[in-house]
Structure 1
């Protein structure tokens, strides 16, 4: 079981983690939320440095840049390939072929620019409100979203791919553990009340399900690029929903 954590950290981060890989890569899915919490904590520490300097824009930029560096830009690359394939491909075969191309096209470039700017704006608001726990929550729940997609959709490529081992071995138990652990991690390390935790989880699930339905319709399942895009888009949506809830509180979710 601990090997799953090693695989999760090696897959999702640049951290040099000692130990042996999991025999089944899908075992690492149990640990994705915890890996997300670790990445989010590192991003938050960078943001706090900017706040200490009294420069909120730099704090948001440090958090955004840290997220890219700590993950080797893995999910950003997936987002670019996803956008190129889904918006540039007229059918399933064309979309899969385009996503496999390592070159980034116009749709991928535009998606990266828009999503990164959107995330920067959301992060800037979270920094201004000192909502560092929410910042971590977005990163954590983005990894939970990856487990949701991997557990509920088949792999789209018949010949397999880089994420095949994660998706083909995933099942309902991975999903249940990921959601339950995400809820617990939101309650204790971040200190959210249960209402706030459920709101953030619901935001992540809504974003993930929308992407999953689109992916199912377009290519019949998921790929590694879709999982990467899920991480980026879910992270952004959770932050956005959190900012809206802070700026326009309808009811108390503390």
Structure 2
């Protein structure tokens, strides 16, 4: 396998991992999730493009800003298979529902959703929808692409820097491998440029939110799991939209 073919396989694996989009089957030897981690932020471009297309189409046929925001979030959830929302729910249940590290990890692994998870999802989705509704026609393709990338850079950096909270699971499979800091920094710079001067504020807020979530995870469960990474992505994305809405208002 050539170097280009290997990189392409890693991108396809990243798409398979973070979305439900059909990208065919990988040929052996298939790359590992750790090797494909560098491409996670690129998936944000695909998800952002789809979300922008749905949002624009709904707005063009006369839907209200609120209805367009609800349908757009639904499209994001369908595209990603709700994995980040599921991660947020499990994260909230485990972090605040367990009395010690072992119990918290047990709760996070449980497929059932508790009151903390339900409330976290309701509040986060409400902020996401309200922010995009407030922006209405001001939310263009550049915003969708930039936020899609920045939120997944935050998730990827947490994957590269946080210790593992357990010895199995998606967090373990995505850990290790090369850390492509220059690539991620370059993508973050481009995302900020796409957003203009507001991009610096959005970047700061996303970094702050990701740092807070990572800090909570490290203190409460010892580090990262797949649920922690999903929570980082969705909370970062939501905070980015909320920041743009506040500055636009």
Aligned-pair distance for 1:134?
1.9
Query: Which segment drifts farther, 132-141 or 60-69?
Result: 132-141
Q: Evaluate the alpha carbon distance shift between residue 28 and residue 185 of structure 1 in structure 2; reply closer, same or farther with a 3 A threshold.
A: farther
Distance in 2, matches of 1:203 and 1:162, equals: 26
Question: Which residue does 2:116 correspond to in 1?
Answer: 107
C-alpha separation in 2, matches of 1:203 and 1:134:
15
**Stretches (4+) displaced over 6 A:** none
How many residues are treated as equivalent by the alignment? 240
Residue ranges of structure 2 left out of the alignment (5+ in a row):
1-6
Which residue in the other structure is 2:41 paired with? 33
What SS class does the counterpart of residue 34 from structure 2 fall into?
helix
Q: CA RMSD in A?
A: 1.8
Q: 1:229 aligns with which of 223, 228, 231?
A: 231
Cα deviation, residue 47, structure 1: 0.6
Residue 78 (structure 2) pairs with residue 72 (structure 1):
no
Distance 1:142 1:130, change over 3 A: closer
Pick the aligned partner of 1:7 from 13, 16, 21: 13
TM-score of the two chains, using structure 2 as the length reference: 0.89
2:187 aligned partner: 181
Q: Pick closer, same or farther for the CA change 1:182–1:110 going to 2, 3 Å.
A: same
Could you say which residue in structure 1 is the equivalent of 2:246? 244
Equivalent position SS for 2:163: coil
Which runs of 5 or more residues in structure 1 are unaligned?
248-254
1:56-81 deviations in Å (ceiling 9; x for gaps): 22211111101100001111111111
Question: 2:103 and 2:182 mapped to 1: Cα distance?
Answer: 34
CA displacement, residues 148-169 of structure 1 (integer Å, 9 cap, x when unaligned): 1001111101x311221212x1
| Cα gap change, 1:34 to 1:129, in 2 (>3 Å) | same
TM, length-normalised to structure 1: 0.88
